[in-house]
């Protein structure tokens, strides 16, 4: 096991398990579930690790990763040994430097999504003698969305290249930021095109994300076809019963290890699929649905107002925050009652990590108080500044009238 981590404190850093990030309450250690799935035993091991070395909480990110907070630098090696033993993290730190794979959560063994994601994963892991360096070194935030069901469901999730279905049922490779993609006839052809486009991105000076690269696509990747229409019914996996088990929501993207352990208690449960929607698909067919439904600390009802809210960790968890965020978000949720169509974002600072897009109501922490932004992002101009929590709640009450 390597020694202590080199802990960066720079903007734009994309942490992992081998390259954890220093935050206000210790190291943040991010786990990328292989093909977006953990076995029941792996998830239970992660819960144990969260309690042994972290804050006891497990977070689910908007890119379908799981992360632990509050890890000390001294204990990070022991945590890593555990994560490697459970195959939650690759022993080779180089694997973590490969592009992240975001996989449609309800893939089935042997379907096209699973086949493509498995091949790419094996490539990135250097398995079976596959030359890993055939892919270029890409920016740390880079990722691929493997979304080859009947219609794409990961359109809103962060990715730089996407494998989707075209309206005519063919596979489609699409560069993020472009409305059209290139149809291909096989998984092999799709993977080769993804690889070539990754090289093209680097060769054309791409240093950030694909959507920011405005150079026209190369002639060998003609963007001629649109993806099939977004499937509204599956875009975020409805809470409750699912053909593969049960979908539950995590309030503001986090749950305690003990809550997750309780959700995994029924013996029919076989694993967990991570999603980019702050929802977990708990696999386990044939069990008693009431078992999971009874677990407090998770969201089971689509009317829950927290589903329309985003809140970053805030203080004391992030050193850039001067305000606690989730307590205020919870207080707002309790006053809102049944799910409101308005989107609320509570951000510890103007960076706005929890939500990149605008929200109907955005509260941004600054110098221990909140700025109120209507219809904007965390760094947009506020309509009111320097509000206490009580003043925020009063202002939102007025807004509703």
Q: Which residues bind ligand SF4 (CB under 6 A)?
A: 312-314, 318, 320-321, 347-349, 351-353
Which of 162, 317 has the CB closer to ligand SF4? Answer: 317
Residue whose C-beta lies closest to ligand SF4: 348
Smallest gap from residue 147 Cβ to ligand SF4 (A): 27
Smallest gap from residue 331 Cβ to ligand SF4 (A): 18
Which of 242, 326 has the CB closer to ligand SF4? Answer: 326
Instruction: List, as one string, the DSSP characters of 306-341.
Output: GGGEEE--BTTTSTT-SSB-HHHHHHHHHHH-SPPS
Q: Are strands 143-146 and 21-23 parallel, antiparallel or unpaired?
A: unpaired
Smallest gap from residue 319 Cβ to ligand SF4 (A): 8
Which of 55, 121 has the CB closer to ligand SF4? Answer: 55
What is the 8-class DSSP label of residue 73? T
Smallest gap from residue 137 Cβ to ligand SF4 (A): 26
Which of 23, 182 has the CB closer to ligand SF4? Answer: 23
Which of 23, 104 has the CB closer to ligand SF4? Answer: 23
Q: How is residue 344 written in tokens? A: 């609320």
Q: How is residue 62 written in tokens? A: 């908007």
Strands, sheet with 245-249, edge to edge from the N-terminal-most edge strand: 37-39, 271-274, 279-283, 245-249, 240-242
For 272, the enclosing helix (H) or strand (E) is strand 271-274
Which of 307, 349 has the CB closer to ligand SF4? Answer: 349
Region for residue 269 given its phi and psi (left: phi exceeds 0; alpha: psi -120 to 50; beta: otherwise): beta
User: Whole-angstrom Cα distance, residue 26 to residue 55?
Assistant: 9
Question: How many Cβ atoms are within 10 Å of 398's Cβ, its own excluded?
Answer: 7
Q: Mark out the alpha helices in 213-285 (DSSP H runs).
A: 257-263
User: Whole-angstrom Cα distance, residue 143 to residue 193?
Assistant: 15
For 369, the enclosing helix (H) or strand (E) is strand 369-376
Smallest gap from residue 315 Cβ to ligand SF4 (A): 7
User: Whole-angstrom Cα distance, residue 223 to residue 295?
Assistant: 47
Smallest gap from residue 253 Cβ to ligand SF4 (A): 11
Find, among 335, 347, 310, the residue nearest to 393 by Cα. Answer: 335
Smallest gap from residue 141 Cβ to ligand SF4 (A): 14
Which of 61, 234 has the CB closer to ligand SF4? Answer: 61
Smallest gap from residue 186 Cβ to ligand SF4 (A): 41
Q: Are strands 100-103 and 37-39 parallel, antiparallel or unpaired?
A: unpaired
Treating both helix axes as pointing N-terminal to C-terminal, what angle do 187-203 and 112-124 enclose, rounded to 10 degrees?
Answer: 50
Which of 195, 320 has the CB closer to ligand SF4? Answer: 320
Smallest gap from residue 314 Cβ to ligand SF4 (A): 6
Which of 132, 366 has the CB closer to ligand SF4? Answer: 366
């Amino acid at each position: 096991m390597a020694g202590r981590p080199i802990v960066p404190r720079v903007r734009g850093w994309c942490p992992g398990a081998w390259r954890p990030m220093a935050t206000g309450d210790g190291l943040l250690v991010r786990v990328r579930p292989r093909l977006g799935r953990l076995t029941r035993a792996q998830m239970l091991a992660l819960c144990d690790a969260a309690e042994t070395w972290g804050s006891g909480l497990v977070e689910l990110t908007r890119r379908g990763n799981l992360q632990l907070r509050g890890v000390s630098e001294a204990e990070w090696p022991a945590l890593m040994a555990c994560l490697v033993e459970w195959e939650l993290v690759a022993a080779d730190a180089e694997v973590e430097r490969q592009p992240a794979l975001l996989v449609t959560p309800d893939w089935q063994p042997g379907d096209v999504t699973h086949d493509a994601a498995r091949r790419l994963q094996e490539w990135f892991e250097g398995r079976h003698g596959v030359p890993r360096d055939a892919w270029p070194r890409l920016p740390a935030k880079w990722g691929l969305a493997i979304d080859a069901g009947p219609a794409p469901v990961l359109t809103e999730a962060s990715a730089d290249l996407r494998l989707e279905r075209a309206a005519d049922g063919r596979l489609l490779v699409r560069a993020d930021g472009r409305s059209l993609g290139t149809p291909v006839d096989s998984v092999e052809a799709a993977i080769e095109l993804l690889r070539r486009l990754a090289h093209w991105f680097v060769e054309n000076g791409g240093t950030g994300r694909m959507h920011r690269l405005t150079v026209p696509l190369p002639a060998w990747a003609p963007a001629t076809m649109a993806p099939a229409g977004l499937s509204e019914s599956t875009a975020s996996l409805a809470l409750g019963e699912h053909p593969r088990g049960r979908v539950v929501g995590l309030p503001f993207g986090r749950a305690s290890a003990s809550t997750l352990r309780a959700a995994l208690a029924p013996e029919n449960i076989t694993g967990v699929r991570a999603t980019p929607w702050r929802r977990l698909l708990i696999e386990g067919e044939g069990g008693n649905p009431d078992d999971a439904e009874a677990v407090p600390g998770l969201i089971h009802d689509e009317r829950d107002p927290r589903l329309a809210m985003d809140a970053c960790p805030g203080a004391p968890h992030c050193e850039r925050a001067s305000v606690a965020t989730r307590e205020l978000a919870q207080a707002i949720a309790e006053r809102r009652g049944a799910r409101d169509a308005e989107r609320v974002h509570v951000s510890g600072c103007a960076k706005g990590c929890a939500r990149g897009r605008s929200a109907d109501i955005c509260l941004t922490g600054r110098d221990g108080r909140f700025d109120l932004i209507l219809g904007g992002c965390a760094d947009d101009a506020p309509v009111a500044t320097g509000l206490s929590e009580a003043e925020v709640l009063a202002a939102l009450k007025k807004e509703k009238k």
